[in-house]
Chains A and B, each alone.
Chain A
Amino acid sequence: MALSVKHLLDTTSLTADDITQILDTGRSFAEVNSRAIKKVPALRGRTIVNLFLEPSTRTRSSFELAEKRLSADSLNMGGSTSSVVKGESLADTIQTISAMNVDMFVCRASLAGTPHLITENTDAVVINAGDGKHQHPTQAMLDLYTIREHFGRLDGLKVAIVGDLSHSRVAGSLVPALKTMGATPILVGPPTFQVADPAFWGVEQTADLDAVIPEVDVVYLLRVQLERMEGAAIPSKREYNRLYGVDERRRRLMRPGSIICHPGPMNRGMEIMHEVADSPQAKVLDQVTAGVATRMAAMYLLLGGESDAY
């Protein structure tokens, strides 16, 4: 049992079998995470570096817990200071850390392609924890896990992905992963947020949320990252909420049994209203829970842990 890839840099390189393995293994780890003693010796003695060149609280916490529960030794580096700012090249940073014999880098960066650049400077395994506007593959795995747990399948599902599509690494990973698993993503957002070439992903793109909502099984709301917009693409939070926010009226347009996902942190009052965020249809906390299990699965599979260690 092994993945077809050495690193987890994107979802585009993953086969359906890879994704199924990660989700299935994630299920076993979810069981571990529900025990009183949430720790297995699967990666005992392995060293994992969390290199966060861009600030992150949630993703880093999720990876750290996953590492601790696998009994790996982990080291946190970065914070808000990019090595580039300090004048050291990324290559030097990676070679320096690698010289201390580490097994894995988990990297978050504001620049696309950074995880690939890391692979060129180390023999260690690299997991992309989000690179700029490009990809965020472990987010896609936890999303798929959550959706699969709810529906019991991914094949044939329709998923509306709503929001700031062109700046979203979440969409960048989720769209190809859904396609690989036989689901149909539909992109929804104002033209100023739409991707330049949806045909590359083989998906439809529209600005009409109300027309899409009754047709889909999952409404996946992206966080509108005001800090990432770099130029006003929408006039106001209020107007965005009116046109693209999910409130009670829109929630009632949804299919019976359909769900709402959000990668967090939520902007309540913008992309989602309070009562919707706290409704049973919203699976936001299930996604967070799934994040630890699927990250454990990805790290475990990539580092080739003992098959009976959990």
Chain B
Amino acid sequence: MEDNLDLLIKKCIDNDRGGQLRIYQLFSPVLYGICLKYMKNEDDAKDVFQEAFIIVFQKISQYKFEGSFEGWMKRIFINKLIETLKKKKKDYHFLDVFDPETEIIEEEELETIPITQEKLIEYIQDLPDQYRMVFNLFVFEKMKHKEIGEMLQISEGTSKSNLNRAKKILQTRILAVLNFKTA
């Protein structure tokens, strides 16, 4: 079946269930992947995924047919994910004070080891919420610390610090796997 994306979007605007299903089928894997990266576990990811997809369909009439539709949806998802995580502020493990002397972690170059994508996702999910958010925004969304700080309402230094902590945790886990394999 040939799909015309614009036509599908128009169908969704008209609340056509077929069009909505097709959009869902086309984009759900990528968007669900994003949810898995940002949330702590699959259950949380499912919840946000559903809510964000509903927002997509509700707001699809606001899409101006300019730029990437997938990008537009990703933006909604990321905002929703951040909003959800912000609501769980009590779970945050903030590292508010940034001390460049102590916080900069020397990045160790790791030997290439094949690790499944699922495992990598699992490592990210195991990070504390705040670290995970910063790590995702920095590594995958290519945002700068200043931008992350503004988005999460934390200081630039806190963002840097959280990223370093996240990297450190991930590095430790990967090294453990590496040691286990080489042993």
**Does chain A bind chain B?**
no
List chain A positions with a Cβ less than 8 A from chain B. Answer: none
Report B's interface with A, CB cutoff 8 A.
none
